[in-house]
Chains A and B, each alone.
Chain A
Amino acid sequence: MNAPLVSVKGVEKRFPMPSHFLQLKKPVLHALRGVDMNIQRGEAFCVVGESGCGKTTLGRVIMGLLEPSAGEVHYEGTRIDTLGEGDRRPFRRKMQMIFQNPYASLNPRMNVAKTLAEPLKMLGDGMSAADISAKIDDVMAAVGASKEWLTRLPHEFSGGQRQRISIARALITDPDFIVADEPISALDVSIQAQVLNLLSKARQERNLTYFFITHDLSVVEHFGDRVAVMYLGSVVELSDVAEIFERPKHPYTRLLLSAIPRIGGQAFSAERAPGEIPTAVNPPAGCAFASRCPLAHDRCRVEMPVLRDAGGGAMAACHALD
Chain B
Amino acid sequence: MPLLEVDNLEVSFGKHQALRGVSFTLEKGERLGIVGESGAGKSMAAFAVINLISEPGRISGGSVRFDGRDLATLPPEELRKVRGDRIAMIFQDPMMTLNPVLTIGTQMVETLQAHREISFAEARRIAIEKLDLVAVPSAEARFDSYPHELSGGLRQRVVIAISLLCDPEIIIADEPTTALDVTIQAEIMALLIRLCEDTGMGMILITHDLAVVSESCQRLAVMYAGKVIEEGAVNAILQAPQHPYTRGLINALPQMNSRGGLLTQIRGTMPGISELPEGCAFHPRCDFANAACKTAIPELRPLGAQNVACIHAGALKETV
Contact = CB atoms under 8 A, between A and B. Distances in A.
Nearest to B262: A197
A268 B216 contact: yes
B215 A265 contact: yes
B314 to A, nearest CB: 22
A189 interface: yes
A276 B154 contact: yes
Contact of A272 (B187, B209, B269): B187
B215 A222 contact: no
Interface string B253-283: 1111011011111110110000000000000
Interface size class of B (residues with CB under 8 A): 35 or more
B136 interface: yes
A263 B210 contact: yes
Given A188-B208, A189-B37, A255-B183, A263 B248 contact: no
A301 B218 CA distance: 43
A306 to B, nearest CB: 24
B212 interface: yes
The secondary-structure label for the interface of chain B is helix
A320 B238 CA distance: 40
B181 interface: yes
Nearest to B263: A193
B107 interface: no
B265 A194 contact: yes
B135 A215 contact: no
B215 A261 contact: yes
B214 A263 contact: yes
B254 to A, nearest CB: 3
B186 A267 contact: yes
Contact of B187 (A161, A188, A194, A271): A271
Interface string B181-203: 11111110111011000000000
A274 B252 contact: no
Contact of A188 (B37, B137, B254): B37
Interface in A33-57: 50-51
A193 B265 contact: yes
A146 B126 CA distance: 60
Nearest to A218: B254
Interface in A183-231: 188-194, 196-197, 200-201, 215-219, 221-223
B287 to A, nearest CB: 13
Contacts of B266: 190, 193-194
Contacts of B248: 190
Interface string A253-269: 00110111111111111
Contacts of B215: 261-262, 265-269
B249 interface: yes
Contacts of B305: none
B211 interface: yes
Contact of A218 (B181, B214, B238, B253): B253
B153 interface: yes
Contacts of B60: none
B254 A50 contact: no
Contact of B209 (A196, A223, A261, A277): A261
A279 to B, nearest CB: 9
Contacts of A294: none
A194 B265 CA distance: 6
B250 interface: yes
A272 B186 CA distance: 8
Contacts of B253: 189, 193, 218, 263
B265 A274 contact: no
B295 interface: no
Contacts of A216: 182
Contacts of A274: 135-137, 153-154, 157, 187
B262 A263 contact: no
Nearest to B135: A274
Interface in B116-169: 135-137, 151, 153-154, 157
Interface of A: 50-51, 158, 160-161, 188-194, 196-197, 200-201, 215-219, 221-223, 241, 245, 255-256, 258-277
26 contacts: A158-B269, A189-B210, A189-B249, A189-B252, A190-B270, A193-B253, A194-B267, A201-B262, A215-B181, A216-B182, A218-B254, A221-B256, A256-B183, A259-B182, A260-B211, A261-B214, A262-B215, A265-B215, A267-B186, A268-B216, A270-B190, A272-B183, A272-B186, A273-B135, A274-B136, A276-B153
Given A188-B37, A215-B182, 12 more contacts: A50-B184, A189-B37, A190-B269, A197-B262, A215-B181, A222-B254, A256-B182, A261-B185, A264-B235, A272-B190, A274-B137, A274-B154
Q: Which 4 A-B pairs have the closest CB atoms?
A: A222-B254, A193-B252, A259-B186, A50-B181
